[in-house]
Structure 1
Amino acid sequence: MRFKMSTGLLFLLFSFFQNCYFNPVVNGILNPVEKEENGSLAALGLVGIAAETSDLLITGQIRDQNGVAISGLVLLPSLPSFQGKLAMPPYTTDSGGRFYLPFQTGSTSYQVLQNGNPFFTLILMVTSPTDIGIGTNGAPLGLEISNLNAVSGTEPPNFFDLVRVFYLEGGVTEVNIHNANLGKSPNPLVLEFSEPPASVDSEDVSWMPNSVLIIPATSVGYLNPSVSGNQLIFSGAEGFTPNTQHFIAFTSNIKSATGKLLSPRAVRFCYTPSVNCVFY
């Protein structure tokens, strides 16, 4: 059994690309001054953790080894009945791979089912609304669990999440880029969200550099953002460094059509025309 605590050992994938809040290099970009309360502790008025914990839920996202949010997972509590809680089991991940579980201090195990079959065991270790640890048992290699928060259970969920990032090989084949060794630069780049994104003003030259950060920087960044359903599509990036691990961070400057700010997210890949990168 592997336990990852929120103090740094939390299984949020190497802190940079899984949960960008913990990386000081990109923190200012992924968390601009403008902040939406987004159903978080700020919205609860929990400056002194004054709200009743019985009114709280714990939320987080589950992604596969390709960084794709996994929807439709059923989480069944192993021991507690949760009688009197705001939500009753079973609990199911939404289109953004996000779960909502009753807030309860101590250690609570959940059997996670995929298509009705056992997938892995999730263990929540909760001390307070701001101290939430997580562990897994039997999880597949590369599984990501991120964006853990305590949120109000009496208000509708208010998250805008990135579901996956891919490019089109030959214009038709979809290739997920997270943790991938790519034989070409990812063009056109497609972001798929949990709901439709807002359209982008073509004359707003500041939108792209404030929304999409490539590390290391390319000679030409992505251009021409367009919206199609739940997707944002970009093209034109050039100058990725061969045989080098890259990160692309997507910031809360990206909004949904209803005005929600994106939960910041970064993906990593390697542009490898000759030698594959190894991800750890």
Structure 2
Amino acid sequence: MKSLSGVGLGWRRQLAHYIDTTEGLGFVEVLAEHLHPKGPLPVPLVRLRERGVPVVLHAVSLGLGSAEPPEPRRLDTLAHLAERLGAVCVSEHLAFVRAGGVESGHLLPLPRTEEMLDVLAENVRRAEAALPVPLALENIASLFEWPSPAFSEARWLEGVLSRTKALLLLDVANLHANALNHGTDAAAVLAAVPRERLAYVHVAGGVKHGGLYHDTHAHAVPEGPLALLEALAARVGPVPALLERDDHYPPPDILTAELESLREALARGEARWRQARAA
């Protein structure tokens, strides 16, 4: 996989002009479900490819956590879009989204069991065989957990990576949400991440409501995810990080400030990493 670097932004039509006119973006991420499978690509995306800006194709509907294997039609669509975009990789979620043709409408958590690891490994293998670029798997935020998990979230991610060849898309905003909602040991998850398998990092905002933290992608990024991003960079060194924004798009100056907050968190972490290496 071509390495990503720097700070990126999720491409949305509402942000296309900002992305087109902003200097210093390391890469962009495009939602597969927002693109027509056979229609022309949006002109701003064509310009990004012509400029050589690295693009990641991000999907939400493949359903790697289903007992049913990924649908060949969905895999074909992802493969075709990845080739048209010149994507460096495809990313998807460690989640359940459908069964028997019924859509959940949400990214639902998976039971952290040996049986589920077996299902994931086979589904990931099928997806990797169909895609022309590497596959990265993303941890999700959830409002509930299955009872009596066999693994902690850290050991679960280790199991996924040990049974597949996939890369990891670590979402520190989702990790922050699970730490608040379920008591997930965020430090243990960060410690379990092998740098050589880390494709990139997601950062996003959220809000507390009804006693739970909701990963909304529509609010300012709080200190929690930024602290986790800094801690990750302090452990493994420079990592590519991408800001997700899906609603309530802020003015350009506020968006620029949010991107800068990611850069500052990464810089602090990298400084700690270099200091530790020099000690």
TM-score in terms of structure 1 length: 0.27
Which protein has the bigger strand share? 1
Greater relative contact order, per chain length (Cα 8 Å cut-off, separation 6+): 1
Which protein has the bigger helix share? 2
- Larger radius of gyration between Structure 1 and Structure 2: 1
TM-score in terms of structure 2 length: 0.27
